[in-house]
Amino acid sequence: STAYLDFVYIDGSTFKIADSAYYPLMVNYKVEPLMVGEEVVISPARYYETSIEYEANTKEQILHQVETHMQIMKEMGFNSIRVCMDVVSKNEEGYYYYSTTPVYLKQYCDKIIQAIDELLQMAKVQGLRIMLLIKPPLDDELMDFSENILKHFANNPTLFCYDFMNEPLYFDPLKERTKADALEVVSKWKDAMDRLAPHQLMTIGFSEPIEVFEWDPSILPVDFVQFHTYHPLRVPNEIWWYSHYVGKPWMIGETSFSVDNDSVDYEMQTYFMKEVFQYALNCGAAGFGWWEFQDAYDVHFEAQYSGLLNHKGTTYTTDSL
């Protein structure tokens, strides 16, 4: 159907839109749904500013901030964003909520969806595609919430992919899980995608090869494998392993090298990025993603200095270096 020509799809081991190749150059962007008056607004993560306050307070200010960030991402050369909105807590009564305002998933589902709609509209204006990282729907409440999202955005090609779980090795609430159980869980997610969002893609953010003993990317029914690789001495080995053993299209979803231009020079990050990107290309990567948009505030060194913008909001080009 011509209505679906603008969706990203997989052809062999690569992504395409219509008849053209599409290579996701992706940057990770952490967001937090906030209650502002009676509405929910998707805000940049608080730690992009300080650990205690947000830069923007009104809906208009927040949306302008997000729009400006997207313009910066586009100018940096990215064509897609992994929007990370999976940080969800559970209260004593067992209800899930985004923990800042708080925004309860069940109570405010429609308003959260409307806020995502506004985010996608801004991305569309910039010509950016969105991979949406959600809280893994491992129980009925989260599954209902996720299915409502899938249904609502089924015909929106700006949202090209859902990432159903970030790094199961570290964030699976079940301490031990059999491969058969992981397969059953992901098969339910895939069934929901096939029923409700058949034109969009599905992935999981795998963290490292030893995940294979529980969450085995070669047998799980994801459309493509998206993995995260960081340690400079392990990155080439991990890229090689995924490229040889998963039997599916794959891309790097996260990588970074933390620098503060004091103990470690910015040039080292540039060198690392170029080396990893070239090696991923040589091994057949279908895309490349960087963690993350901006340095964070008041966290450990590796997380604090992994962004492309520093905390003062500046970056460095080849000319300025």
For residue 286, CA distances in Å to 16, 73, 225, 226, 235 come to 10, 20, 10, 10, 17
User: Residue 224: pLDDT above 60?
Assistant: yes
**Residue 110: how many CA atoms within 13 Å on its side-chain side?**
2
Least confident range of 38-52, 145-159, 190-204, 233-247: 38-52
State the pLDDT at residue 308: 92
User: Residue 320: pLDDT above 70?
Assistant: no
* 247-258 per-position pLDDT tens digit: 999 999 999 999
How far is residue 227's CA from residue 204's CA, in Å, rounded to a whole number?
8
User: Residue 290: pLDDT above 90?
Assistant: yes
261's tokens: 């231009």
**Per-residue confidence band for 64, with pLDDT thresholds at 50, 70 and 90:** very high
How far is residue 294's CA from residue 90's CA, in Å, rounded to a whole number?
28
Structural contact between residues 219 and 204, judged by C-beta atoms closer than 8 angstroms: no
State the pLDDT at residue 1: 47
* 151-192 per-position pLDDT tens digit: 999 999 999 999 999 999 999 999 999 999 999 999 999 999
Burial of residue 175 (number of CB atoms within 10 Å: 0-12, 13-18, 19+): exposed
Per-chain mean pLDDT for the chain: 94
At 93, which amino acid appears? E
Q: At what angle do helices 140-152 and 109-126 cross, to 10 degrees?
A: 40
State the pLDDT at residue 122: 98
Picking from 166, 177, 174, the residue whose alpha carbon sits closest to that of residue 216 is 177
Nearest 5°: CA angle at 56, between 50 and 58?
Answer: 150
User: Residue 319: pLDDT above 80?
Assistant: no
State the pLDDT at residue 3: 55
At 231, which amino acid appears? H
* 233-248 per-position pLDDT tens digit: 999 999 999 999 999 9
* 107-118 per-position pLDDT tens digit: 999 999 999 999
- The whole-model pTM stands at 0.96
CA dihedral 32, 35, 39, 41 (to 10 degrees): -20
Looking at residues 56-74, what average pLDDT do you find?
A: 96
How far is residue 288's CA from residue 307's CA, in Å, rounded to a whole number?
15
By percentage, how much of the chain surpasses pLDDT 90? 87
State the pLDDT at residue 321: 43
Between 43 and 50, name the one with better pLDDT.
Answer: 43
State the pLDDT at residue 316: 62
